[in-house]
Amino acid sequence: MPQSKPDRAPDGMTRALDEAREAAARGEVPVGAVVMRDGKVLASAGNRTLELKDPTAHAEMLALRLACEEIGSERLIGCDLYVTLEPCPMCAAAISFSRIRRLYFGAPDPKGGAVENGVRLYASPTCHHAPEVYGGLGESEAAGLLRQFFRERR
């Protein structure tokens, strides 16, 4: 379940927003993600589904994979994930399986989200690990990037 917002937005969200802008510049849906541990960036990525022709190449999935490679483990214990959009069911499950400690996300996703919306994966009794969740960090900027991106394509 979502927690209350921390007093200030964590530094990782700034980097996630940069990744989202870079994704938009490549023609991808502007979503960015950053994995951090002990104040250090382990990995960052933006959406690359079109570029890689891979439906699983969401920012979160790519950042989780890179972080796992960086530390040499499939478990990201003690790590935090910053992402500009509420994760979808696939990404929410990967976050759980990787044992992310805290999830910070920007804009909610009423249509495709799986944390505060949709299936609410972390509230399910079958969820093995639920991170602490902090939504709404950088929400206006993240939502603005998405609105602008889709407005330009209509």
Query: Mean pLDDT of successive 10-residue segments in the chain (154 residues)?
Result: 47 96 98 97 98 98 98 98 98 98 98 97 96 96 97 88
Q: Where are the domains of the chain?
A: 12-147
Given the residues 60, 86, 139, 141, the one annotated as active site: 60
Binding residues: 58, 88, 91
Q: What pLDDT, on the 0 to 100 scale, is given for residue 9?
A: 47
Q: What pLDDT, on the 0 to 100 scale, is given for residue 11?
A: 87
Binding residues for Zn(2+): 58, 88, 91
Q: What pLDDT, on the 0 to 100 scale, is given for residue 44?
A: 98
What six digits make up the tokens of 9? 């937005």
Q: What pLDDT, on the 0 to 100 scale, is given for residue 4?
A: 47
Q: What pLDDT, on the 0 to 100 scale, is given for residue 153?
A: 86
What six digits make up the tokens of 115? 């944390």
Is residue 28 flagged as an active site residue?
no
CATH number of 12-147: 3.40.140.10
Q: What pLDDT, on the 0 to 100 scale, is given for residue 137?
A: 95
Q: Give the residue carrying structure tokens 């938009």.
A: 24
What ranges in the chain are assigned the alpha helix state H?
11-25, 49-52, 59-71, 89-97, 139-153
Q: Give the residue carrying structure tokens 């330009």.
A: 152
- Between the CA atoms of 95, 22, 56 and 103, what dihedral angle is there, to the nearest 10 degrees? 10
Q: Output the pTM of the full model.
A: 0.92
Instruction: Give the span between the Cα atoms of 136 and 84, in whole angstroms.
Output: 9
